[in-house]
Structure 1
Amino acid sequence: MLEWIYWSISWILLRWHDLWDAILPGRQFLSTTWQWVLAIVFLVITVRALLFPVFVKQIRSQRAMQALQPQMKALQEKHKGDRETLQKEMMELYRKEKANPLMGCLPMFVQIPVFLGLFHVLRRLSPTNPNTELYGWSTAQFKSAAAAKLFGAPLPGSFSSPAETLVALGSTSLNTKIVAAACVILMMATTYLSSRQMILKTGWNADPQQRMIQKLMLYGIPLGLLVSGWAFPLGVILYWVTNNLFTLGQQQWVLRKYPPPVTEGATPMKRTKAATTGTAGKSGAAKPTKSGLFGKTKADTEPSDAKPVVEGKALAPKPGAKPVNPKKGGSAKR
């Protein structure tokens, strides 16, 4: 069923390797086979270029969901406590406005077959594998990829690979575990940052279903990688990290060029210290509450010709002075 994916991934990977092998024939630096490392990096670029229309649909769907926030909040207030009716009304709203709440995860779902295909291809790169010409590979390409390394650790190897397998691949267990552990941590960090980058701009979604998806993307997937990442070949982890870095750059460009609209009901990811404490300064005196247009204080928004408030003691006559008639401005007649 997935044979066509294995053939496609292999074809793209081998074409990029042929190109970089012609540019950097047999070159190694920092114990790294750059022909295969760059082939995996440009495999990511190729896949992301092919998925760019899907990314555009994702952005449009996110904008549509943000525009629906006021209506969704109204439905939540109307059907508070009746989850079944709320879900029906929400689905009807999505259908009517042609919005899909799952579209935000579509690029990730589309890349899962690519990830699985690369995982399968790299796992079969073993010196003990007699079938060296599968999925369009030649024997020379198979042996070259099996011997490829990243900082001395084999690209087909993983943190959990047996020591004898790593020795057969031309490396040691300690070196592979150190490189693999660093790569897994980097994979988790870039996965977290790519989700956090978007939530910092849009805030937590008011819709419970959307917020659950946001939390899954932010916390669930990085924690899942902590458990499963140790079995990933280094080449797959390299693909994942490169893909995350590409996503960070792409999202930064989109958020800067097309900033998301401010939607009602969305809550910021973090609150500032001043907003949570309501105090400032060493004396502990509270800052004036800002309100109104552009966050000005009440004193800033009062008209300039407003009469100043004067205390009554300032108008009282001094001892021994004649009383003054406020209407005539002169001395009072006895």
Structure 2
Amino acid sequence: MFDFFSLDFVYYPVSWIMWVWYKLFALIFGPSNFFAWALSVMFLVFTLRALLYKPFVRQIRTTRQMQELQPQIKALQKKYGKDRQRMAMEMQKLQREHGFNPILGCLPMLAQIPVFLGLYHVLRSFNRTTGGFGQPQMSVVENRLTGNYVFTPTDVGHFLDANLFGAPIGASMTQRGGLDAFVDFSRPAVIAVGVPVMILAGIATYFNSRASIARQSPEAAANPQTAMMNKLALYVFPLGVVVGGPFLPLAIILYWFSNNIWTFAQQHYVFGMIEKEDEAKRQEVLQRRAANAPAPGAKPKRLPKAASGGGDGSVAEPVSDADAEGGVKKTDSADQSPEGKSEKEPRTPAGKPPQTGRNNAPPAAHRARVRGPRSANGKSATQPLRDERHDRPESLSRMPRNIANTDP
């Protein structure tokens, strides 16, 4: 019966997932087959890790982001090393600015702890002839007639009967009590089956740690705390699996081995995916820069100066040199009225001759009409006027306008 004041909220889901996979593999290998139970434990691990895939990806991204923020973190430690409260506030501010959440990086590891404890408790509950913490002590017959969470009493009997060359899946190498619950038990067989799996689990742990350390940045690896953790992950953790393996049931060793196999494959896939995403982002930035850069041999586009009389605040579109020259010519021709007079010329009041002089020189077009013919070649003032700016010498063109337009 479900107990709300215990860890049944962990034990029942773990036993249910394991039961589903056991029923599936029992159809293939048989209900009392060693591999049916071994694969049910391994696929329990795979199911859990599949559910934790997205948190695992967040953990990898958080780790990479932490490595990128190492220079800023070191700067804060150097600046506020003596004021821990201020440094903690600045660290939280830095994490908020970059969307960094260190708890997400620990979620996959924290979620596996209750699953491991739940699996260990469920496996121990198949054999309750020795009693123990939180378990009643039963006889061999009572134990086989009592279910184990979602497993029926028949399933409990099949678990106790499953063995490989005399090595029960629920037995450990150093087990002394509760051996009567198993139909067939051989300690050499348990050692022969458990030691290779135990060594493979330690090797898988080592390669997982090595792959994680190889992806660390030089700044993170230079940190003394990180260097110490790297040594623990490389040597102590794999050795701990080998040393602790003899005290654990074979099913737990299989759990550890399959968990490390999944971690190794998942790390390789996720890191490759993230590297491809980063490379795609870099290529996108390069393509944007190449699209905005001018073509080889082409003049860069420039913006003409806005007219002073507009006042609308609009920005002119970029035009080429040829368009700019054409725009000047069109403006000069458009400013002239049908009578040949420029609209921008100052108008003289009726009945009053135009003012002349050095400071009040009339425009060139008006002087041409007042003077009449310019030369003896037969051209009159009524003919279309030429732009005298192109006929002036360069030195005269640079003179002030009121001086250049004065009559000789």
Give your verdict on TM over 0.5: yes
The structure-2 alpha-carbon separation of the partners of 1:84 and 1:120, relative to structure 1 and needing over 3 Å to count, comes to same
For residues 182-216 of structure 1, the C-alpha deviation after alignment (integer angstroms, 9 at most, x for no partner) is 32222222112112112112246255555554444
Q: Conserved in 2, the CA contact under 8 Å of 1:66 and 1:261?
A: no
Q: Conserved in 2, the CA contact under 8 Å of 1:153 and 1:179?
A: yes
Q: Conserved in 2, the CA contact under 8 Å of 1:126 and 1:169?
A: no
Partner of 1:17: 22
Q: Percent identity?
A: 40
For residues 19-63 of structure 1, the C-alpha deviation after alignment (integer angstroms, 9 at most, x for no partner) is 1112333585xxxx2211111121111111111121122122112
CA distance in 2, matches of 1:103, 1:222: 25
Cα shift at 1:136: 1.8
The structure, 1 or 2, with the larger RCO (C-alpha pairs under 8 Å, 6+ apart) is: 1
Partner of 2:7: 2
Partner of 1:148: 162
The structure-2 alpha-carbon separation of the partners of 1:171 and 1:27, relative to structure 1 and needing over 3 Å to count, comes to closer
Partner of 1:69: 70
Structure 1 runs (4+) greater than 6 angstroms displaced: 80-85
Partner of 2:94: 93
Cα shift at 1:80: 6.6
Q: Conserved in 1, the CA contact under 8 Å of 2:148 and 2:156?
A: no
Q: Conserved in 1, the CA contact under 8 Å of 2:32 and 2:159?
A: no
TM-score (norm. length: structure 2):
0.56
Q: Conserved in 1, the CA contact under 8 Å of 2:62 and 2:104?
A: yes
Question: Is structure 2 residue 173 aligned with structure 1 residue 168?
Answer: no
The structure-2 alpha-carbon separation of the partners of 1:197 and 1:27, relative to structure 1 and needing over 3 Å to count, comes to same
Question: Is structure 2 residue 195 aligned with structure 1 residue 181?
Answer: yes
The structure-2 alpha-carbon separation of the partners of 1:216 and 1:94, relative to structure 1 and needing over 3 Å to count, comes to farther
> What are the within-5 Å matches in structure 2 for residues 240-279 of structure 1?
240-259=256-275
- Equivalent residue letter for 1:241: F
CA distance in 2, matches of 1:36, 1:73: 51
Any stretches of 5+ residues in structure 1 without a counterpart? 263-334
The structure-2 alpha-carbon separation of the partners of 1:243 and 1:127, relative to structure 1 and needing over 3 Å to count, comes to same
CA distance in 1, matches of 2:9, 2:87: 42
Give the match's secondary structure for 2:10: helix
Q: Conserved in 2, the CA contact under 8 Å of 1:153 and 1:175?
A: yes
CA distance in 2, matches of 1:151, 1:199: 39
The structure 2 residue matched to 1:200, chosen from 193, 214, 222, is 214
Higher Cα Rg: structure 1 or 2?
A: 2
> What are the within-5 Å matches in structure 2 for residues 181-330 of structure 1?
181-203=195-217, 205=220, 206-259=222-275
Cα shift at 1:113: 0.7
Cα shift at 1:111: 0.5
- Equivalent residue letter for 1:117: G
Most deviating of 240-249 and 177-186: 177-186
